[in-house]
């Protein structure tokens, strides 16, 4: 893919891919794993090397992992094969998403923001389906790039869902400099 984001992420995963493979699933997913269905279809958006997607596959879900980086998805597939897990992957630009209606039991969206996905996820989740969403928020008083949420935006976007967990707060991690604000949401689509 000649998309500038694909080239950027392919280069990043080519250089650092092995380091990404050592990461654990997101703590938000681990903390709420008891809510996951024992079977069904899951979408891992902006899946990278598939850490969270593989966690779902190991729990018995069929998983579709999407990312703009072919390099990342190849690493994810190799990892799935080495673990004997099934996972479908596709290079996909989430800037203009479309998914069939009411097809996914679970949707994961970690550390990625494309506001067009809000409506697409709402449509694509089955009634009773779970959405796990985590990404960064623009800090009060700062001008932020478009890939940062406004304070309260994520919760408002899914306010009609059953909110199981919704929080905004400082991100824990090794990065130096001002702390980053992270929005987290686990929500169930109404029946």
DSSP β-bridge partners for residue 168? 183
What gap in Å lies between CA 144 and CA 94, rounded to an integer? Answer: 20
Candidate ranges 73-77, 136-140, 176-180; pick with highest mean pLDDT: 73-77
| Residue 180: burial class (beta carbons within 10 Å; 0-12, 13-18, 19+) | middle
Rounded to whole angstroms, how far apart are CA atoms 158 and 29? 18
SS3 (DSSP) at 74: helix
- Cβ contact 89:76 at 8 Å: yes
CATH code that applies to domain 4-14+24-188: 3.40.50.150
Decide: residue 98, CB within 10 A, 0-12 exposed, 13-18 middle, 19+ buried: exposed
Give the pLDDT of residue 16: 77
Contacts of 20 (CB under 8 A, 6+ apart): 13, 48, 49, 51, 72, 75
Task: Look at residue 176 in the predicted model and tell me its pLDDT.
Answer: 46
- Average pLDDT over every residue of 104-125: 97
Supply the pLDDT for residue 179: 67
With 80 as the cut, is the pLDDT of residue 27 above it? yes
Q: Domain residues of the chain, as ranges?
A: 4-14+24-188
């Amino acid at each position: 893919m000649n998309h500038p984001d694909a080239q950027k992420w392919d280069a990043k995963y080519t250089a650092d891919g092995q380091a990404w493979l050592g990461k654990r699933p997101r703590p938000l997913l681990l903390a709420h794993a008891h809510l996951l269905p024992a079977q069904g279809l899951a979408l891992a958006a902006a899946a990278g090397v598939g850490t969270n997607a593989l966690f779902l596959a190991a729990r018995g879900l069929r998983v579709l992992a999407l990312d703009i980086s072919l390099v990342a998805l190849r690493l994810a597939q190799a990892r799935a094969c080495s673990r004997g897990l099934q996972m479908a992957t596709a290079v996909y630009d989430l800037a203009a998403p479309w998914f069939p209606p009411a097809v996914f039991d679970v949707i994961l969206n970690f550390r990625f923001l494309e506001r067009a996905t809000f409506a697409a996820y709402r449509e694509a989740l089955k009634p009773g389906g779970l959405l796990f969403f985590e990404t960064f928020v623009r800090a009060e008083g700062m001008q932020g790039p478009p890939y940062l949420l406004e304070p309260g935006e994520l919760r408002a976007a899914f306010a009609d869902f059953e909110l199981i967990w919704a929080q905004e707060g400082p991100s824990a991690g090794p990065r130096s400099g001002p702390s980053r604000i992270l929005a987290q949401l686990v929500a169930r689509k109404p029946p």
